[in-house]
Structure 1
Amino acid sequence: MSKVEESIEVDVPVRIAYNQWTQFESFPHFMDGVERIEQRTDRMTHWVTKIGGVTKEFEAEITEQIPDERVAWRALGGDVNQAGVVTFHHLDTTRCKVMLQLDYDPEGFAENVGDKLGFVKRQITGDLKRFKDYIEGRGRETGSWRGEV
């Protein structure tokens, strides 16, 4: 099992960053390789990704969600074995820190080589930078879900 932890400071209040992160269907706007996400229930999402020419579809379960604090998930079944959490940290009234931790199990030769070369870490760093640009550019969230799981 491999682990990645990355964070970024975002120039929006923690509530806005958190609210945007709950809009899973917007992830293709800032997550490279994410083709589509469907929010099926409060706890279930369906993902379609295409990375390195390989398309994968899988279900992910939201295992914990606390407004303005954290969203945790795990992939269910299929050929994707990962779990993670994104946490939101108040820095001041206009800034926050977004931290993403991911545990994943690379599958096959190509994914293992990519893991050793730091591909996933670079991917997450880029995704967080694009999230920052996306939410700061908008200045507000596209929606929100304030429930708890």
Structure 2
Amino acid sequence: MSTTVTASTDVDVPVRVAYNQWTQFESFPEFLGGVDSVEQIGDTLTHWTVSIAGVKREFDAEIGDQVPDDHVAWRSIGEVVHHGRVRFTPLSPDSTRIDLEIEWEPEGFVEQAGAALQLDDMQVKKDLARFKDFIEDRERSSGAWRGEIHGGETTSGTDPDLRI
């Protein structure tokens, strides 16, 4: 049985800054609990190593749809079932709402118990709060990728002015 978690937060940075930081997948361990590492393999492929409740997993995830300053959608490849979408909505020139939805298949007793007790919901909300602190403290992104992806295919490239 799959588990779906949704969470939102408002960050006091422009949508471009929030989105640009989110596309820096290798920085995820700095604010996502349980994420040991994320390796960017290509424009559409990442490799994840996670440790949750003493269970270590590795999996690849493919970005299926990505539009700058709007959203990023992904899904795992292989045995681990995990997919999600993050949406960025400008609230003002200097603030952005981030809406996150993640769905996965908990495996084993520990993961199923965590889902039943809604520990996953709490973790995702904490992660978004840590992202908020991370990006507001910096006030700028650590890099950017401004390409678009539709159906798993890259349709445009990077903005060289945004490479930091």
Aligned pairs, how many?
Answer: 148
Q: Which residue of 1 aligns with 2:56?
A: 55
Q: Secondary structure at the match of 2:148?
A: coil
Hey, which bits of structure 1, 4+ residues long, moved more than 3 A? none
Q: Secondary structure at the match of 2:135?
A: helix
Provide the alpha-carbon RMSD of the alignment.
0.6
Provide the rounded CA distance (Å) in 2 between the counterparts of 1:57 and 1:136. Answer: 30
Q: 1:1-149 residue pairs with structure 2 within 5 A?
A: 1-78=2-79, 80-149=80-149
Provide the rounded CA distance (Å) in 2 between the counterparts of 1:53 and 1:106. Answer: 14
Give 1:39 deviation, angstroms: 0.1
Offset from partner CA, 1:87-140 (integer Å, 9 cap, x none): 000100000000100111111111111001011111100100000000000010
**What TM-score do you get using the length of structure 1 for normalisation?**
0.98
AA aligned to 2:54 is G
Provide the rounded CA distance (Å) in 2 between the counterparts of 1:2 and 1:31. Answer: 18
Structure 1 unaligned regions, length at least 5: none
Contact 2:53 2:110 in 1 (8 A): no
**What TM-score do you get using the length of structure 2 for normalisation?**
0.89
Provide the rounded CA distance (Å) in 2 between the counterparts of 1:52 and 1:114. Answer: 9
Structure 2 unaligned regions, length at least 5: 150-164
Q: Secondary structure at the match of 2:147?
A: coil
